[in-house]
Structure 1
Amino acid sequence: MQSMNISLPEPLKEFVDEQVDSGRYSSVSEYVRELIRDDERRKSQDKLEAFLLEGIRSGEPTEMTRQDWEQVRREAIKRLEASRSRKTASSLLLAGAGWH
């Protein structure tokens, strides 16, 4: 795990210390990690809501045909294979550089 140093004004540092002292968090690091995770979840939720609104605003719904589903499957397989290829290439590069 990587370390990171941050500077806080005294009132914020006191607030963080209070959160740890309350017993909910075992350390300042745990508290900060939880804040970051919450922010990630919030951003993911915002993205999902934007996609849902885009879908709602896109017009009347249409029923998916067999051809539509086949195209979705082909695209999913294509993306999965591309992802696997990138991971394999990265692993080979790291192994060649002496990273394991």
Structure 2
Amino acid sequence: MRIDFKLTRPTVIAVNVLLSNYDIVQFDGLRKNEKIHYSMRLELRNIFIKKTMSCHPAKEFKMKLNYYLAEELMKVLTEYFVSGHYNNGLEMLKNQLHPKLL
């Protein structure tokens, strides 16, 4: 099952900022359950980096994620708070994902 949602370029950049924290985590020191979440978040990071590179700066675009990745993205969005102008786009993304994941 795939989840569809719309994004703007600033929202994609905000998600990349949020997921950038996982670039420095050491995989060897994690427990099995943490490794599962870490690998899904790295997969999300790769998807969003590719989308950032390929999307037009002024256009809104659609994105599709597998259900398990959309669920993990929702966990990331609810766990972390980003201050500043990124917060509005992330809140709108959470509001789009929440009803689709129920």
TM-score (norm 2): 0.28
Rg (Cα) greater in structure? 1
Q: Between Structure 1 and Structure 2, which shows a larger proportion of strand residues?
A: 2
If each structure's helix is expressed as a fraction of its own residues, which one has the higher value? 1
TM-score, normalised on structure 1?
0.28
